[in-house]
């Protein structure tokens, strides 16, 4: 099964488009997610087939959360949308977003370590007969 943007979005996945990207169309959000998925596919290309989808999905989630964290770092903490009201993020919300992003990266790195250790163990230990 290949990972798709719908796999990352609520209610199937952990990302809520309207919360993370307020005022951005779902078409645009899907474009972001497809780019993050493509990056993940490239990143896990050498992994075992069984691990690739999980790695791709976890990397895409990390990249999405990282993009949102960066968006809030580089932009104003309060945003107003014409005819839609305004949105803001408190420092506690920002810390939670950073923690979610860091947890997503840690989960990806754990998957990566599992795949790497499996590959290393398949060759066994070479000893000299001298």
| Within a domain: 77 | yes
What pLDDT was estimated at residue 124?
A: 45
| Within a domain: 122 | no
Kindly tell me if the per-residue pLDDT of 130 is higher than 60: no
What pLDDT was estimated at residue 125?
A: 46
Model pLDDT for residues 8-53, shown as the tens digit of each residue: 999 999 999 999 998 899 999 999 999 999 999 999 999 999 899 9
What pLDDT was estimated at residue 47?
A: 95
Which tokens belong to 15? 């990302």
Model pLDDT for residues 47-98, shown as the tens digit of each residue: 999 899 999 999 999 999 999 999 888 876 666 667 777 767 778 888 998 9
| Within a domain: 61 | yes
Which pairs with CB-CB distance under 8 Å and at least 24 residues apart come from 30-33?
30/5, 32/64, 32/67, 33/5, 33/8, 33/9, 33/60, 33/64
| Within a domain: 60 | yes
Segment (H or E) for 88: strand 85-88
Domain that holds residue 23: 5-108
What pLDDT was estimated at residue 84?
A: 72
| Within a domain: 114 | no
Segment (H or E) for 87: strand 85-88
| Within a domain: 94 | yes
Lowest mean pLDDT among 39-43, 83-87, 105-109, 123-127: 123-127
| Within a domain: 113 | no
pTM confidence score: 0.80
Domains in the chain, number: 1
| Within a domain: 120 | no
Euclidean distance between CA atoms 35 and 46, whole angstroms: 19
């Amino acid at each position: 099964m290949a990972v798709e943007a719908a796999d990352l979005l609520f209610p199937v996945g952990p990302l809520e488009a309207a919360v993370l990207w307020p005022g951005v169309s779902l078409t645009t959000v899907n474009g972001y997610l497809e780019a993050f998925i493509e990056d993940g596919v490239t990143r896990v290309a050498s992994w075992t087939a069984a691990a690739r989808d999980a790695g791709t999905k976890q990397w895409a989630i990390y990249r999405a959360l990282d993009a949102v964290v960066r968006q809030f770092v580089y932009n104003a903490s309060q945003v107003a949308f014409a005819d839609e009201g305004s949105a803001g993020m408190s420092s506690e919300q920002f810390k939670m977003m950073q923690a979610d992003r860091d947890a997503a990266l840690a989960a990806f790195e754990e998957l990566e370590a599992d795949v790497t250790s499996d590959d290393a163990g398949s060759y066994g230990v070479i000893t000299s007969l001298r």
